[in-house]
Amino acid sequence: MAEAIRTLDDVARAAGVSRATASRALNGGRNVSPRAMAAVMRVVQEHGYQPNPAARSLVTRHIGAIAVIVPEADELVFSDPFFPQAYHGALTAFKDSDYQVTLVMAEPQDSGRIVRYLESGLVDGAIVVSHHGQELASALAKASRPLTFVGSPGIVDAPFVELDQVSAARTATEYLIGKGARRIAHIAGPLDMNAGAGRQAGFEAAMDDAGLAPVGIEPGGFTIRGGQAAAERLLDAEPDLDAIFVASDLMAAGAVRTLGKRGRRIPADVMVVGFDNSPVAVQTLPALTSMTNPPAVMAEAAAKMLLSLLSGDGPEWPVIIQSELVVRGSA
C-alpha cells in the first residue's frame, strides 16, 4: 500500500512495463507476453484499479452503456406490466456484454429531454419501447446514435421489432369461429396505433375469409372503462352476439364486467378473447383466453439488433414476432 494506484501510468510503473503495454494487457492482451500480462493483472487485482471511463471513451468514442428509453409518464411505466417485462428482456440480451443498461423515462411530449440524453454521450445507443409510434420516432431518429424500436416507429426508417398483429388477430378470430361462434363483434384499440389497426384488420380478414360479417366494431381506447362502454354499445345494437374479440385484456376486463351486468354467461352465452396475455387476464372471472404479446421477447430481439448495430453490423429488420393463443375460461 505504498502509493495509490489510480492511473494506468501507476499500474505500468508498478508492473514494470510501459503504459502502452499495460493498456494492451487490459484490453484483450493482443501482443502482450504472458510475463507482462501477469504482472499487470497482479497489480490491477491487488489495487482494484479501474480505468477512467472518460479518458477511455475520449479516444475510443465509445462509452459502454446503453439505455432503454420509455417515452411514457413514469406513473404509467410502472403500472403497465408491459414495460418492466420489456426492460427485463433488454437486460438479458445485454447480460454478458459488459454494457451497462439504464432505464430512462420521459413524457412523450418532452422529446427534447430524450434527444438531449442521447446526444449527451452518456450512452452509445438506445432501445425505444413505446406505444406511441411515430410521434417521437422522428424526433429521436435525428439523434446521431444507433436506435432500435420495440413496436414499429411508423414511417421512420429504423430497425424495429413488432408483433405480427394481423395474424394474431386472425388466429384469435378463427379460434372463436372454430368454437362455433357466428355473431362476432370486435372491440378495437385506437386506429392510429399499429396495435389497434393491425388487430382490427386481422379480425376483419378472418371474418371475411369465413364468409361472416362482423356484428359490430366499437373503439375501446385500450382502457377498462372504454371496454366496458364499448361492450354496452355492442349489446345494445346486437343483443344476440355470441362472441367478442377484444384488442386488449384491459378492455376485455371491462367487457366482461358489462356482460356480467347484462346477465350474459361467459363463455356459454358469449365467448371473449382478449389480447396481451397480461396479468389482468387471470384476474377476471372467468379468466381470459388471450393472445400473447411477449414484451420480454420483443425487447430482447431489439436489444440484439442494437448490439449488432453497435458492433458495426447492419442487422436484418424488421423482426416480426408471432403471437400465440393462450386458452383459459372465457372462450
Partner DNA sequence: AAAGCGACTGGAAACGCTTCCAATTCGGAA
Partner DNA sequence: TTCCGAATTGGAAGCGTTTCCAGTCGCTTT
d(CA 260, CA 193): 29
Nearest residue (CB) to DNA, 8 versus 305: 8
Among 17, 22, 25, 65, binds a second copy (CB under 8 A): 65
Looking at residues 116 to 155 of the shown chain, list those that interact with DNA (rule: CB under 7 A): none
180 membership: H or E segment, kind and range: none
d(CA 301, CA 304): 5
d(CA 190, CA 91): 30
Under the binding rule (CB under 7 A), the answer on residue 52 touching DNA is yes
d(CA 105, CA 184): 39
Cα–Cα distances in angstroms (integers) from residue 55 to residues 61, 63, 311, 313, in the given order: 10, 10, 21, 26
Among 13, 41, 47, 51, binds DNA (CB under 7 A): 51
Give the contact letters, 23-42, x = binds to DNA (CB under 7 A), - = no.
xx-xx---xxxxxx------
Q: What is the CA radius of gyration of the chain?
A: 26
Give the contact letters, 95-124, x = binds to a second copy (CB under 8 A), - = no.
-----x-xxxx-----------x-xxxx--
Among 42, 46, 55, 261, binds DNA (CB under 7 A): 55
* 3 state SS for 93-146: HHCCCCCEEEEEECCCCCHHHHHHHHHCCCCCEEEEECCCCHHHHHHHHHCCCC
Under the binding rule (CB under 8 A), the answer on residue 63 touching a second copy is yes
DSSP 291: E
**Structural contact between residues 146 and 119, judged by C-beta atoms closer than 8 angstroms:** no
Under the binding rule (CB under 8 A), the answer on residue 139 touching a second copy is no
**Residue 33 binding target from a second copy, DNA, none, CB below 5 to 8 Å by type:** DNA
Q: Tell me the one-letter amino acid at 121.
A: G
Nearest residue (CB) to DNA, 64 versus 286: 64
Looking at residues 70 to 99 of the shown chain, list those that interact with a second copy (rule: CB under 8 A): 74-75, 77-79, 81, 83-84, 87-88, 91
Query: HSE-up of 203 (CA within 13 Å, CB side)?
Result: 29
Among 38, 42, 46, 60, binds DNA (CB under 7 A): 60
Nearest residue (CB) to a second copy, 57 versus 167: 57
Binding site for a second copy (CB under 8 A): 50, 52-55, 57-58, 63-65, 67, 74-75, 77-79, 81, 83-84, 87-88, 91, 100, 102-105, 117, 119-122
Binding site for DNA (CB under 7 A): 6-9, 16-21, 23-24, 26-27, 31-36, 49, 51-52, 55-56, 58-60
